[in-house]
Structure 1
């Protein structure tokens, strides 16, 4: 559902001081704390965009003069509708920040916290649960035992979907308040009534709604969300986002999933903080690949030298190709982590991969021919060069015709054959370090072409779905 429009504006609360995250050191306002290359407010807005939201209201208060220029820059950079609402009473509680938006809202709206990491499907769940009744909705999570900091969490008690109690330190809770709401203007008088009793918090307003049966729970258990209030929670949030990258790409091959991701995510953790684009990383991956191909050609040039020199150059070639394969995963990780995916980026990555693949096989064929003098390896190499791009071409053509990705399950039994690009490059790596490039060439000629021939039936079946 990601990318579908919710047709609702989103209010994001960014007015609080956030001292617990800063540990008392007023380095930056909490919404501007940078997490893997994006500040918390920017990450909330861009995640909202992934859910299809195109209208935002950001409430500022503490150190607003630092936040507003950043919001203006994001509005300009992303072409978003972002309205800034100032709350001079922010110290009285986060409920006053919601109330400050009342003049700007006449219908339903989503309510988010700027210090929450989340997946956009949570917002879709709230919208899908709305039946038009004049009530507010709160996303709740029943996985209380999995909470990072349960003592600080706002808990709720439930009777069916009705919220009967809400607050911190609540006894016998049924679920936790996630901080994601679908609200209606009836929230504003409830907040005012709570404020008059001395409680300016959002939870105070929710308690008022609860007493009138005007707030319902929507179970979002199983969805990812994480509240960042402390430095430790911040680090856990970093780990959570990186861990989610391991399963973000459903068409990962076995080498990418079990070997490459181990290294690529460590690289991504370090590179994400810098202003490096995914396309730049694609170029770096290509350079490693071209260097590897060049080393294979070089091994052919020095075919008459001592075998240790040849073996060393072959091994270096294989290592460079595997490094290229790892960086080929980093560009996608950075793109997904920082919301920088683009059609051109996918196109560039696809085309550069084809150059690396072709030149690598040509380099291996040249080296093998110069070492053995066998013309058969040239013919086999031609079949390898012909077959290598077929899998990628097949996926691209399938996507163009059906508007959906071709997944491994579409292949049926074929998915167990080692034909994906990560496996092919790993075979090149092994062939290089073991000085068995001739066997690698035979493998690259046989498997991709065999899979391409057998796929005709699988594709016909998949297209009929």
Structure 2
């Protein structure tokens, strides 16, 4: 069970926002690009250590990420490219936001370790790298499975597959932690949790695939 399972409820609540974009004649891909712009702005603010303001922009980016699919469905503009582009935008936002934290120079894990002078930066960037790798791998497993196994059934423009409900920690949990961490001032613990949990969740999906595909 993960937050992704609650996606339909969130999307239903955001339909009024989708209606606004439809009236403004935004295409689904335009909404996705807007989500990317807010994500890039968040990454820059995180880099500048403006974590609270960055968290607000990340929240807006996450909302728009849910809205683009609704705009596509309501306007009849669902497309395979749109679904792929949505994934690409998500991973750019995730990676750059986490990189923004790493490049900000704040102590993430170095303050907890007995390190020699000059090693602090490497320790913190290592944790950020783990968080980025976990975030990417947790998602990368899915398209590889689609290609090899052949999941094709779609629901609201997205491929519906068992992996959607496997893995206790995915993108929604990552974004939520970054938002809460930015607003509360505990961005470092948030990144540490993301680094650990995204990789464990990816491992959980690998075990699931091994048991069902071997």
Shared fold per TM-score greater than 0.5:
yes
User: What are the equivalent positions in structure 2 for 1:9-48 lying under 5 Å apart?
Assistant: none
Contact kept? 1:282, 1:327, Cα under 8 Å: yes
Contact kept? 1:410, 1:458, Cα under 8 Å: no
2:81 is equivalent to residue 330 of structure 1: no
Aligned to 2:18: 268
Aligned to 2:161: 406
2:39 is equivalent to residue 289 of structure 1: yes
Instruction: Identify if the C-alpha distance between structure 1 residues 462 and 273 changes in structure 2 by more than 3 Å, giving closer, same or farther.
Output: farther
Higher relative contact order (CA 8 A, sep 6+): 2
Contact kept? 2:5, 2:165, Cα under 8 Å: no
Aligned to 2:130: 383
C-alpha separation in 1, matches of 2:3 and 2:23: 25
Deviation, structure 1 residue 380:
0.7
2:104 is equivalent to residue 367 of structure 1: yes
Aligned to 1:245: none
Contact kept? 1:410, 1:462, Cα under 8 Å: no
TM-score, with length taken from structure 2: 0.81
Instruction: Identify if the C-alpha distance between structure 1 residues 358 and 410 changes in structure 2 by more than 3 Å, giving closer, same or farther.
Output: closer
Relative to its length, the structure with more strand (as a share) is 1
Q: Where does the alignment leave 5 or more consecutive residues of structure 2 unmatched?
A: 112-119, 152-159
C-alpha separation in 1, matches of 2:6 and 2:185: 21
- Give the match's secondary structure for 2:76: coil
User: What are the equivalent positions in structure 2 for 1:47-446 lying under 5 Å apart?
Assistant: 253=4, 256-257=7-8, 260-261=10-11, 264-299=14-49, 313-369=50-106, 374-375=120-121, 376-404=123-151, 405-408=160-163, 411=166, 414=167, 417=168, 419-446=169-196
C-alpha separation in 1, matches of 2:147 and 2:76: 23
Relative to its length, the structure with more helix (as a share) is 2
Aligned to 1:307: none
Contact kept? 1:255, 1:423, Cα under 8 Å: no
- Give the match's secondary structure for 2:185: coil
| Rg larger for | 1
CA offset digits 1:375-401 (Å, max 9, x no partner): 322211111111111122111111122
C-alpha separation in 1, matches of 2:131 and 2:22: 36
Deviation, structure 1 residue 275:
2.4
What is the total number of aligned residue pairs between the two structures?
Answer: 195
Deviation, structure 1 residue 408:
5.0
CA offset digits 1:83-122 (Å, max 9, x no partner): xxxxxxxxxxxxxxxxxxxxxxxxxxxxxxxxxxxxxxxx
